[in-house]
Amino acid sequence: MIFRAPTQAKYGFSERFFMPYRNYSMMKNIVNKTSGGNDTKSRSRQQAYYALTLIKRLGKHSGYTAQMINLLDYYLSFTRDLDWEGKGAPIIYQSLCRTAFDLGLSVRQIQRIEKRLADKNFLRFEDSPNNKRYGARDASGRITKAFGVNLSPLTDSIAMLECAEKHRRAQKQAWLSLKNSVHQLRKEIRSLILGDTVTFDDETAQAIDAPIRPNVTATKLQSIISLLTKLLNKLCKQGEKNFANVDKNVVHKENTKISNISNNKTAPNNLGLENITYQDLSRYIYRNHKDIKLSNWQDIMQYAEDHRHLYGISDDIWRKSDALIGKVASAIAFMVTSHGFNREKSKIYNPKAYFSALLQRAEQGALFLDKAIY
């Protein structure tokens, strides 16, 4: 995401000083080459702009306001490459009045922004005896004497900024995952109440219909998921769409075979179901999901029906699976897909596509669930 400069009408800033780096990875490579690997003592102007890029990416979520970013960008435009080399010091000695005039702000506003940047360790003050800012350069362009704002601490903050940016990126991915789960739950709930007149309380109605804005917190999304999951289970039971249809005459024992359970379809080559017992499947589930406690076949099928939406398995795919291989085999195929998605080695990144591929193999007579379990 590219940070856009605020307009002068809103913040009083001039956009001509705002120069964002759009290629983040290229900028990082330049910094690594310039810094010579892990040499933290070396500094360069590219490193300073790389730090500024990280600040822009973190933005307001980390406490870096548009005013702080614009002032820092404005000050960096006054520095030269030789200011960052050797014993040089990137000191901005322009007067506060000139800075305030260029940015369309008051002197007091500039002082407050500088104070916030100093608190973040992005700059430090080099005060003169009379508290005025002035400086001079020699014939080669190096600063010989200067008092004002020193930007040297900016390059020392790169490691901290990279860590914060990585953490922010992980938070974003987790938030998007929660958002996708909410959308999937809403889709399934709407498919169940389609054409029916159903009234909900205000909290439930808002959880179903309210748009998810970027300012919605992850905690709020988790509470919405919990509410929608309970509602989905309730609607399924009310609509006589039970999570499992098991023969009432079957006695569930630990060594009960799937062949004794109503599977309502006989898939091609039986998928190896005659070789799978509840005891074997429960060991497989416990080995991969130690936090799940399922006591019989009905619990296994109920768990699969309850959690399939979290893996992107839609109603159409699930109905196709029930019609093709039956409820029990569908539950086992879901457990295999769930295990592949949660494991570290040979991880499945698209569980919906993987589950669909299992159904295709079943149609071709090439699916053997017993081999997947054992």
- What pLDDT, in 10s, does the model give residues 201-215? 888 888 888 888 888
In this predicted structure, the answer to whether residue 111 has a pLDDT above a threshold of 90 is yes
Q: Is it the case that residue 261 has pLDDT exceeding 60?
A: no
pLDDT in tens, 56-96: 999 888 889 999 999 999 999 999 988 888 888 899 999 99
pLDDT for res 241: 41
For residue 90, give both structure tokens: 């990137």
Predicted pLDDT at 236 = 75
| pLDDT band at residue 104 using 50, 70 and 90 as cut-offs | very high
Q: In this predicted structure, what is the pLDDT of residue 5?
A: 34
Length of the chain: 374
Phi/psi of residue 230, nearest 5 degrees: -65, -40
Looking at residue 52, its pLDDT comes to 92
pLDDT at 238 over 70: no
pLDDT digits (tens, 9 = 90+) for 262-271: 444 444 455 7
**Per-residue model confidence (pLDDT) at position 95:** 92
> Is the model's pLDDT at 50 over the cut of 80?
yes
Q: Residue 239 above 70 pLDDT?
A: no
Return d(Cα 110, Cα 201) in angstroms, integer. Answer: 50
- The average confidence (pLDDT) of the chain is 76
Report the percentage of the chain scoring pLDDT > 90.
Answer: 21
**Whether residue 226 has pLDDT greater than 80:** yes
Task: With a cut of 70, say whether residue 198 has pLDDT above it.
Answer: no
Report the share of the chain in percent with pLDDT over 70: 75
Enumerate the domain spans of the chain.
Answer: 8-156, 243-374
pLDDT in tens, 122-158: 999 998 988 899 999 999 888 889 999 999 999 989 9
pTM of the entire structure? 0.50
What is the structure's pLDDT at 40?
40
pLDDT band at residue 257 using 50, 70 and 90 as cut-offs: very low
Give the per-residue pLDDT at 14: 35
Residue 109 pLDDT greater than 90, yes or no: yes
pLDDT at 192: 73
Residue 288, pLDDT score: 64
pLDDT in tens, 274-309: 777 777 777 777 666 666 777 777 888 888 888 888
Euclidean distance between CA atoms 240 and 325, whole angstroms = 21
What is the pLDDT confidence band of residue 359, given thresholds at 50, 70 and 90?
confident
